[in-house]
C-alpha cells in the first residue's frame, strides 16, 4: 500500500472515530471509503507493475535491436570478405589463363 493511501486511511479512521465520539457521524455513510481507498491502492500497484513490465520489454527490445545491428555489421563484414575473395579468384583465373596462353605459344 502506498504511503499516501495509508495516510489517508489513517486520517479517515481518526476523523471517523472523532466524529462518532462527538455524535456527528455514525460511520454508515462512510462505509465505502476504505473500500475505495483499497481499490485506488490496488490500481496504483497494477499500474506500477505494468510500468515495470513495459520497462523490461523495452530493455529486451533494445538488447534485440543491438544484437541485430551487430549481426548486420558482422554479416556485412563477411560479405565484404567474400567479395574480396571472389575478386582474388577472378584475378588468379585471369593470370592462369594468361600464363597458359603465354606458355602455349
Residue tagged 497494477 (cell numbers): 46
CB-based contact 5:37 (threshold 8 Å): yes
pLDDT tens sequence across 68-85: 999 999 999 999 999 999
Confidence band, pLDDT 50/70/90 cuts, at residue 95: very high
pTM, two decimal places: 0.48
How many other CB atoms are there within 10 angstroms of residue 50's CB atom? 10
Residue-wise pLDDT tens digits, 52-62: 889 899 999 99
Best CA proximity match to 34, nearest among 14, 50, 49: 14
96 or 2: whose pLDDT is higher?
96
Q: What CA–CA distance (Å, rounded) separates 25 from 40? A: 24
**pLDDT tens for residues 2-42?**
777 777 777 777 777 777 777 666 665 666 677 777 888 88
Amino acid at each position: 500500500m502506498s504511503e499516501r493511501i495509508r495516510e489517508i486511511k489513517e486520517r479517515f479512521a481518526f476523523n471517523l472515530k472523532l466524529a462518532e465520539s462527538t455524535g456527528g457521524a455514525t460511520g454508515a455513510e462512510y462505509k465505502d471509503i476504505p473500500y475505495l481507498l483499497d481499490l485506488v491502492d490496488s490500481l496504483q500497484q497494477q499500474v506500477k507493475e505494468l510500468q515495470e513490465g513495459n520497462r523490461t520489454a523495452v530493455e529486451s527490445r533494445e538488447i534485440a535491436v543491438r544484437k541485430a545491428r551487430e549481426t548486420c555489421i558482422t554479416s556485412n563484414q563477411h560479405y565484404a570478405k567474400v567479395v574480396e575473395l571472389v575478386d582474388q579468384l577472378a584475378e588468379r583465373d585471369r593470370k592462369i589463363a594468361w600464363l597458359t596462353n603465354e606458355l602455349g605459344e
